[in-house]
Structure 1
Amino acid sequence: MKRLIKFTLGAGVVLAGAAALVWVLNSRDEIDVSAPVAAAAASDSLIARGAYLARAGNCMTCHTARGGEPYAGGRSIDTPFGAVFTSNLTPDEKTGLGTWSPAHFWRAMHNGRSKSGRLLYPAFPYPSYTQVTREDSDALFAYLKSLPAVAQPNKAHALRFPYQSQAALAVWRALYFSPGVYKPDTSRNAEWNRGAYLVNGLGHCTACHTARNVMGATEGLDLSGGLIPIQNWYAPSLVSPHEAGVGDWDRQEIVNLLKNGVSKRGSVNGPMAEVVQGSTQYLNSEDLNAMAQFLKELPGTSAPGSPKEPEIALMAGSPSAADAVAPGSVAALGAKLYEQNCAQCHGDKGQGVPNAYPALAGNRAVLMPQTVNLVQIVLNGGYAPATAGNPRPFGMPPFVLVLNDTDVAAVLTHIRGAWGNQASAVSPLEVNRIRASSGR
């Protein structure tokens, strides 16, 4: 009995200590929202600055449901743990930010807490937004308060047990979230620091371009690539010259890609096309150049002495080498399907058409070990965003109803092994998995 009592007491002490530690870690750098704030009309310049920053953060894309009012929320963000619905950011007093103060909004950005103090789910990327300065947060808030109020109640999240509980979220935050405003690197110039601030803060590029663990947390800010959960797109590494690293690119080509969605060295598709469509095309040249400098100088982005690669897609020779990675029957099928469906645009030797259809020969997006993006594009089509610099982009039609899993695998295996390309084969099982995940 004494041993049981001692064990129970000991376990209680351990649990109490763990709970206290979780509470302390969740209270780090907490924002005081108790002080009254005198209401003051925001200046036009502050609102304009906030509108620009909202573009930089691509806020409207997530906080607008399809066919809904801008910033009124209601869009479902699917996660491996269930669905999270975005909140109403319009100044409606009952369902939006109408009764919030700048301090409440700053706490949401910096600490990941709602007005009531409730912990927010990191589908709202506060692990990145915590780096945003108070000044920029206040400008964002001024802009959102200037919007027309929309009375649209927020939808309850649909998360599975135990992920729907505040206790579980508090443990997650204690393990993986640490608040802190961006601190400039004094060894770098102001332009590099501005680029780092935009990429790692409002741009929240880490949310896609860094791998997540089983608990859905990104490990650091390494930007080394990762599969986007549920969407089944691979956000390529921004530090690898073999994926989407731009260390050997001319800075203007990086700016063109972010501004127009296309450049001489590449084009964007998939989720990155949405980023350009809703965000980066609206940034000014100073910020785009700052981001370009930061991305060019990421560790590992250049491979000294390596030849420059042909045009790539997705930032998103010999007649055939497919026989080296696939049986003769598969290689023959892939070559036939390519001739019938692909050669008209991409060329009989995978050379592509400049400013229209990307080359496939030597294309690093084609050669990456991760093949999910290739399967997605063949099944569902690939489209660059319409921008001021590229208002009528060329696109690729979907083949989801034309090619079966074996066909898609065969033609991709052919492309990855032809014209000097030397990449592994794609299996029908890989294609089936992607098709099934998209309900097609």
Structure 2
Amino acid sequence: MTESFVPANYSFSRTLARVGAGLVLAASSALALAQGPTSDIVKQGEYLARAGDCIACHTQPTGKLFAGGRPMPTPFGTLYSPNITPDDETGIGAWTADEFYRMMHSGRSRDGSLLYPAMPYGAYTKVTRADSDAIFAYLRSVPPVHQPNRPHELRFPYNNRELLLGWRTLYFREGEYQPEPTRSVEWNRGAYLVQGLGHCSMCHTAINALGGSSESKAFEGGLIPMQDWYAPSLTSNKEAGLGDWSIADIADLLQKGTSKRGAVYGPMAEVVYDSLQYLSDDDVKAMAVYLKSLPQHGGESTNGKSAVTGEERNLLSQLGSKIYAAQCATCHGKHGEGKLPDFPPLANNQSIQMTSAVNPIRMVLNGGYAPGTAKNPSPYGMPPFAQSLSDEEVAAVVTFIRTAWGNHGTPVTAKDANALRSAPLY
């Protein structure tokens, strides 16, 4: 038997226990045949909904599961996620599986209206019909919540959905994932999850002024609009390129939230907490195999231009060295060597040296924890220093760690630090 790509591993076969004879056996067998597949597909749908991280947008932090209403700020105004519980009036209770698949595959709602691309249908279009049906079956099994959808608050002309026709022409390519015949089943499974349900490119590909992204720049990194976190390039050796990572380290980072090479914070911590930690070891490994295969290149030089002069840099580094010794060295080591697996190294750390200094500045200001996961239930965290360090002191310590121990990052300014003090804490 030749191997074939299977988007989801679910089986409708069940073993029927012997209950008795005659009508009793016939009735129990009929019941198992009727309910067994339904139970299996709902369970599979729950797993796939986790893979798609549906909860992140469709559940408010203190709200009911999938009842929607979560605000999603964009450069064009605020969108509010819809109710996707099986309530007939305010949710998707009256939807059919065909209508749900059209929404996933084509980015159109039940009434045919175009969806705004905050719903990642550009990625979900790759999801197979079988997987879409499983997710739909699961969503229909959750408790219905009667909660009317909140209207979007978009500025003119972005509140005109007809303009999405032009956007879709430029940036949307409809079609299910097509396996690459020259690649392994495992690689194809990883590609399906990363490109489709995982919608990883939504953050790790730069977004332009129209809210679109270029396939030619997929996974090359970019600033996440309105969140002020930088999603690093997965293809650049100067950022988070994974070419020299082991499969095990990539898988650990995705599933545990921490590995020998580093830890996740900010929006990626939420992805691991809500989604990736629940995936099977085989699926996480498949994603790691695919991600490691992404073409690697040198990327943009980390030695970018800086507004800081040589003398200012020396003064910042001297001040930063003192702050580091007093506040940071206990955990990260005198020479930035770190203390694995709890405290990541800062020396020769690609994420510290990237052209964008947004992430290290935010970590110093706001601190953070790696997500608590089944395989790392009690992560260590970093305290915030926004209240105890001035803008100049934040700039000094970030400049120090970006340029010490052979690191090749550029200095940052007090203005850079101040600009991120009001960034949203999520």
The TM-score bracket by the shorter chain reads 0.7 to 0.9
Name the residue aligned to 2:127.
132
8 Å CA contact 1:245, 1:302 repeated in 2: no
Post-superposition Cα deviations, 1:220-256, rounded to whole Å, max 9, x if no partner, equal 1621111100001010011112211222222112111
2:140, 2:168 → 1: CA distance?
29
1:244 aligns with 2:240: yes
Post-superposition Cα deviations, 1:236-289, rounded to whole Å, max 9, x if no partner, equal 011112211222222112111111111112211111111110111111111111
1:230, 1:274 → 2: CA distance?
16
- The alpha-carbon deviation at position 347 of structure 1 amounts to 1.6
Post-superposition Cα deviations, 1:150-188, rounded to whole Å, max 9, x if no partner, equal 001111001111001112222212222121111111111
1:250, 1:114 → 2: CA distance?
42
Name the residue aligned to 1:186.
181
Q: Which amino acid aligns with 2:377?
A: P
1:376 aligns with 2:362: yes
- Tell me which of 331, 335, 338 is aligned to 2:324: 338
Name the residue aligned to 1:164.
159
1:198 aligns with 2:184: no
- The alpha-carbon deviation at position 147 of structure 1 amounts to 0.5
- The alpha-carbon deviation at position 206 of structure 1 amounts to 0.6
- Tell me which of 276, 279, 300 is aligned to 2:275: 279
- Report the secondary structure of 1:118's partner residue: coil
1:223, 1:91 → 2: CA distance?
35
8 Å CA contact 1:324, 1:417 repeated in 2: no
- The alpha-carbon deviation at position 325 of structure 1 amounts to 7.8
8 Å CA contact 2:83, 2:149 repeated in 1: yes
Name the residue aligned to 2:105.
110
Larger mean Cα displacement after TM superposition, 291-300 or 349-358: 349-358
1:83 aligns with 2:78: yes
8 Å CA contact 1:326, 1:413 repeated in 2: no
- Report the secondary structure of 1:84's partner residue: strand
* Matched ranges for 1:63-82 at <5 A: 63-82=58-77
1:253 aligns with 2:280: no
1:86, 1:289 → 2: CA distance?
31
Name the residue aligned to 2:406.
420
- Report the secondary structure of 2:421's partner residue: helix
8 Å CA contact 1:261, 1:268 repeated in 2: yes
1:365, 1:251 → 2: CA distance?
19
8 Å CA contact 1:238, 1:301 repeated in 2: no
- Report the secondary structure of 2:72's partner residue: strand
Name the residue aligned to 1:386.
372
8 Å CA contact 1:248, 1:302 repeated in 2: no
1:419, 1:249 → 2: CA distance?
21
Distance 1:302 1:333, change over 3 A: closer
Name the residue aligned to 1:97.
92
1:435 aligns with 2:421: yes
1:327, 1:272 → 2: CA distance?
31
Post-superposition Cα deviations, 1:47-96, rounded to whole Å, max 9, x if no partner, equal 01100000100111110012000111011111111111111110000000
1:61 aligns with 2:47: no
Larger mean Cα displacement after TM superposition, 249-258 or 377-386: 249-258
Name the residue aligned to 1:270.
266
Name the residue aligned to 2:220.
224
Distance 1:325 1:110, change over 3 A: farther
Name the residue aligned to 1:10.
none
8 Å CA contact 2:230, 2:358 repeated in 1: yes
- Tell me which of 351, 360, 363 is aligned to 2:346: 360
Distance 1:386 1:252, change over 3 A: same
- Report the secondary structure of 2:422's partner residue: helix
8 Å CA contact 1:323, 1:331 repeated in 2: no
8 Å CA contact 2:261, 2:344 repeated in 1: no
- The alpha-carbon deviation at position 420 of structure 1 amounts to 1.8
1:197, 1:324 → 2: CA distance?
48
- Tell me which of 226, 229, 254 is aligned to 1:233: 229
Determine what percentage of the aligned residue pairs are the same residue.
52
- The alpha-carbon deviation at position 406 of structure 1 amounts to 1.0
- The alpha-carbon deviation at position 203 of structure 1 amounts to 0.2
- Report the secondary structure of 1:435's partner residue: coil
2:309, 2:209 → 1: CA distance?
37
8 Å CA contact 1:65, 1:74 repeated in 2: yes
8 Å CA contact 1:413, 1:424 repeated in 2: yes
Name the residue aligned to 1:120.
115
How many residues get paired? Answer: 382
Q: Which amino acid aligns with 1:154?
A: N
Post-superposition Cα deviations, 1:381-433, rounded to whole Å, max 9, x if no partner, equal 12100011111000001111111211110111111111222221011111121
- Report the secondary structure of 2:318's partner residue: helix
- Report the secondary structure of 1:234's partner residue: strand
- Report the secondary structure of 2:100's partner residue: helix
8 Å CA contact 1:64, 1:70 repeated in 2: yes
8 Å CA contact 2:84, 2:92 repeated in 1: yes
- The alpha-carbon deviation at position 324 of structure 1 amounts to 5.9
Larger mean Cα displacement after TM superposition, 216-225 or 280-289: 216-225
1:364, 1:397 → 2: CA distance?
22
So what's the TM-score if we normalise by structure 1?
A: 0.84
8 Å CA contact 1:246, 1:302 repeated in 2: no
- The alpha-carbon deviation at position 210 of structure 1 amounts to 0.3
- The alpha-carbon deviation at position 332 of structure 1 amounts to 2.0
